[in-house]
Amino acid sequence: MLDKILASRYQLIATLGRGSFGCTYLAKDIHLPGQPECVVKKLNPITKHNQFLDIARRLFKTEAKSLQKLGKYSQIPQLLAYFEQDEEFYLVQEFIRGHNLSKELTIGTVWQEQDVIKLLKECTLILDFIHSQNVIHRDIKPDNLIRRQQDNRLVLVDFGAVKEVIVQENIDSTIAIGTKGYMPSEQAIGKPHFNSDIYALGIIAIQALTGLEPHKFKENDRGEIIWGNRGERINPQLKEIINKMTQYYFKDRYLSAKDVLRDLESLRLTERKKSINLSETRSNGEETIFIDIDRIAAEKTTIENKKVVRELDATQIDADFQKKYRQKNRPKFLASAIVGVILTFSSLILAKISFYQHEKQQRIASLLILIQLNYQQKEYDSCLENVKSKGKKIGLSLEQREEFIGKCTLGAAETKAERKDFSGAIAKAEQISEDNLFAVEAEQKIADWSQKLIDRIKEIYDREGNSSEIERIINTIPEGTAVKTTALKLKNEWQQETDILEQKLLAANREIKLQKWQAAINKAREIENNTTSEYWQLQAREIISHSRQRQAQLKAFKTRQNSSLKQQDNRSRVRRPTPSNQSEQYNRSSIIKTPTQNTPKKVINVCPGHLCNQ
């Protein structure tokens, strides 16, 4: 099978894997300059009965089109082609260079909690996208999650929906699509739901936290996985999320990936609030204890006031007693007077502190109202300026500043997206830090806007070919972003495709000049078969239409010419009988004259009478 060329284009160079559904090969596209690598998946139909193949062929095309839509997402391989050859089905997909997640989930290796949360968030975002396209993956497992070398992100591969094509309509088939250990009970009987994928992801999380393989997990009588004794150190809320993801009965699980994301974000906020509530270390090394994040300022004031009172009382009273013992001859009432003065002075200090604290709280309240008003009126630049320039100075808590920075930055990005400035929107949203409250929402928005940018340049290429407008849009995309990488890759592929198709177009036009109409049609067919771009398809159709029109004209001319020659030939036959006809006429004249040969000839007198008498 290796070195074989499929569809006159894809040369197989290595075997990547084999399974019950078919084989996966590494191949190179020999039609493109540089012969880029790609992945070819061969799907083996379970039977080659004609009726089954007709159904499988229809389903294969439908599912392949679904994969083509999914490939628009940056963390799903792009579908490059799909075709049938010798009653076998093939998919050609983008080659993802990297390693699969199973390399990281070795037996006995236990992940850190924050790494598991990051894994869950990243994969749940992918699931949220594919489920929004009404697709269930059906085979979520470490081998199907590839850590992309380019940006260290996870890419989901090997969708089970296409595998269903080769077992569909087979009444006797008991083949379940999925992998034992990661596959929930409803999927094992052929009835998967969207949260079947969520179950499999939860199993991967348990595997990462325990260092055990799924087949070694124990279950209770209700089918729930028992793993708590190996995860005592894990945050109880994270355990609760994973347990809900892996419930035996699908109705007891999360119903959507969005629900999982919401709880994961809640978990992150809880952890952050806990760290803030415990302590805040100042630059001078002093540590102030907090009780409640919503009462930070009030509690801090109380503690500091008590601290001032203790320091003043201790210092002044100690000095008073020392002076008293040194000057025993002074009246005892002097000590009481000094204490009274100190207490009065302390009260004045406390009153002043209270006044300044009250004024500070008023300034904070006024600033919060102003910032909230900026946000509601979509004055996001003013919102950010007030938070950054005045927030820390006036005394907004770190959590409050981070919240409004995230809200206003995302709002500014959304405003740009509403104006179709998706590049600007992405650049703005990229400013939100990973630990910000709105980081997950920003990631989702960036993925959505990135997809719209890619769709936009694909639409332009489809309509106009590799135009300068595509170059302009790509130049506006922020450097270092995943969408920039994807867009540049597409541009290079389109440039290579354009170079090839332009050569074919020139060849077709040369055939037209030579009036070789069928050869021109064949060249145009090559253009049609090597691109899905409507621009190039239109170029090919125009050549085919023109050539067929000239072919028809030529055929009509030849038909008229043949008809004219035939008519001339017929007229010639009427004027010049054939020798056989002459013989026949001769015979006929002989037959007529034969009876008169024995009859005496009648003498006709032609001379004048007066001469004849002589």
Residues serving a catalytic function are 139
DSSP assignment string, 66-91: HHHHHTTSTTSPPEEEEEEETTEEEE
Helix, strand, coil fractions of the chain, as percent rounded to 5: 65, 10, 30
Question: For residue 524, what are the CA distances in angstroms to 71, 502, 531, 546, 554?
Answer: 28, 11, 11, 11, 20
- Residue 228 CB: number of other CB atoms within 10 A? 11
Helix axis angle for 257-278 and 194-210, nearest 10°, is: 40
Tokens matching residue 486: 């994807």
DSSP string, 15-51: EEEEETTEEEEEEEETTSTT--EEEEEEE--S---HH
Please say whether the beta carbons of 506 and 514 come within 8 A.
Answer: no
Contacts (Cβ under 8 Å, ≥6 apart) of 335: 320, 321, 324
| CA dist., res. 145 & res. 157, Å (int) | 6
89: left (phi over 0), alpha (psi -120 to 50) or beta: beta
- Residue 145 in 3-state DSSP? strand
> How far is residue 432's CA from residue 442's CA, in Å, rounded to a whole number?
7
Helix (H, G, I), strand (E, B) or coil at 79: strand
State the alpha helices, DSSP H only, in 211-327.
236-245, 257-278, 296-326
Q: Do strands 98-100 and 145-148 pair parallel, antiparallel, or not at all (unpaired)?
A: antiparallel
Contact 465, 495 (CB under 8 A): no
| Residue 84 φ/ψ, nearest 5 degrees | -120, 135
Q: Tell me if 39 sits within 8 A of 94, measured CB to CB.
A: yes
Tokens representing residue 194 in the block? 């969207």
CA dihedral for 369, 373, 375, 381, sign (positive or negative) = negative
- Which residues are paired to 19 by β-bridges? 22
Pairing of strands 280-281, 5-6: unpaired
Q: Cα separation of 101 and 255, whole Å? A: 25
Whole-angstrom Cα distance, residue 230 to residue 208? 11
| Contact of 417 with 386, CB cutoff 8 Å | no
List all residues 6 or more positions away from 105 whose beta carbon is below 8 Å from its beta carbon. Answer: 142, 204, 207, 208
Residue 77 contacts residue 93 (beta carbons within 8 Å): yes
C-alpha neighbours within 13 Å on the C-beta side of residue 494: 24
